[in-house]
Every structure is written in structure tokens, then in C-alpha cells.
Amino acid sequence: MTAPPARAWKPRAGRSKAVVHSEQNKAAGGNHRRAIRLETGGIAVGSVVLKALKRDGKVHAYLRWTVDGRQVSRSLGPVSNATRKSNLADGWDLARSQGLVHDQPLPPESWASSPEVRSSMQGNRGRDTTPERRLRALLHARGLRYRVSVRPVPELRRTADIVFPKARIAVFVDGCYWHGCPEHYRPATKNSGFWWTKISENRKRDEDTNQALAAYGWTVIRCWEHEDPESAANHVTSVLDETL
């Protein structure tokens, strides 16, 4: 038998753990849909693994999870799509149809409106985003030194992405969706009321943060994640030159 094509099952080399986690979440329909109930009463997070078997020329899906440091694997059966993405999704469907995975219920203290909303919120990265790292790299290359993800004013519960303590400059790199970018924000199609309320609250908090820090003598710089990093770095450098 001829082995299936690599694009139907083989993962890309050099993937980070974050990329692997995101791939599994997308295929499963969210992190909350990867729950495996253990005999001990706990919950493990499963992953679907694809293997190409020469004996039948098909791609086979397996569900894997870890219990007390020991890896457990369960065969789900063959999948027959042309791409890895589609085969992973089919693998999760097989696992669900066989009763091996379940949707994880919301914890009592969660204020999210649904498991889908909670999964999306958990996936929102709070620091070290790609736009932040690019801007920091450019500023560092210019000989500038700064602090990362700290409160400019300790008694204020406001954390800036990049802080120049001596110059009293706080830089925020705002995500287009979460902060309601006028150019790129697109309303959610599900739970739109909840998300619009959340984003409106974020924008009000941003304005409150600007005013609060200004009252303490700080200059606030806000950059959108879609901005050209070089232009953002030029803006920050210009304000620093004027301040110091």
C-alpha cells in the first residue's frame, strides 16, 4: 500500500507549544471541548494525533492524554480528508461520537456567558504578543532600556506593556479586537451583545487609565497592533527625546 500524502497528516516541523495548542483548539472547536473525564473524577485535556499507516494506505486518528505522568492513547479510526486540518477535525468528531471527550462545564465562579466565550477569553494573550515583542526589539536596538508589563504607578492597578520609569512614559500596544480599533474591529457574530459590552468596558478603562496616569505626571502612548512597528518605535523615540 502507498502511504498517504504528508499534507494529510504530517505536522509542520519546528512548531511551538502555543501553535500546537492553538491547532488542537481550532480542530476541536475550543479548548473547553477537549475534556476527558478520568476515573479519579478529574479532567484531562486530550489531543488528536494523526498517523499514516502503510498497511492500509490510510491516515488514522488517535486520542491521547496524560494521567499521572503516563501517556494514554486510544485509536479512533481512519480519516480520509486531503488536509491535516480537516483530518484533525474529523478525529475530534470521532472522539466525541465515541463518548471519549466532553465539553467542560463552566466553573461556578466564571462570569463568561458560555464555554465558547470562556475559551475565547482564555485564548486572549495578555502579554508578550507579537506586536509587543517587535516594538520592544526595535526600541532595544536603538539603545533604549525599559521595563516590561509592570505598573507605572504601583498603587494603580494598571499594567503597561512598556515602561520608561525615568521619563515617566507608559506604552500600551492595544489589540484591534479587544480595544475596538476603528479600522479593524469587526463585531462578533455569536454572543454579540456580551462581546460589545466587554469591548466598550475595555475602551472606558483605557480612557480611565490615560487620565489616571496623567494625573500622576505620566505620559501615555497607545499603539494599535496593526501599526507598522518602525513607525510605532519612531513615535516612542520622539516622545522620549522631548521628555528627557
Are 103 and 33 in contact, with CB atoms under 8 Å apart?
A: yes
30 vs 77: which has the higher pLDDT: 77
- Report the SS3 class of residue 58: strand
Residues near 209 by beta carbon (within 8 Å), at least 6 away in sequence? 158, 172, 220
Radius of gyration of the chain (CA): 23
Per-residue pLDDT reduced to its tens digit, 158-201: 999 999 999 999 999 998 888 888 887 777 666 677 778 888 99
State the Cα–Cα distance between residues 146 and 165, nearest whole angstrom: 7
Amino acid (one-letter) located at 142: R
Phi-psi region of 149 (alpha: psi -120 to 50; beta: other; left: phi over 0): left
Assessment of whether the complete model's pTM goes beyond 0.85: no
Range list of β-strands (E), 22-67? 35-37, 43-45, 47-53, 58-67
Are 103 and 65 in contact, with CB atoms under 8 Å apart?
A: no
Amino acid (one-letter) located at 173: V
Per-residue pLDDT reduced to its tens digit, 200-227: 999 999 999 999 999 999 999 999 999 9
State the Cα–Cα distance between residues 83 and 87, nearest whole angstrom: 6
Domains of the chain: 6-108 (no CATH), 124-243 (3.40.960.10)
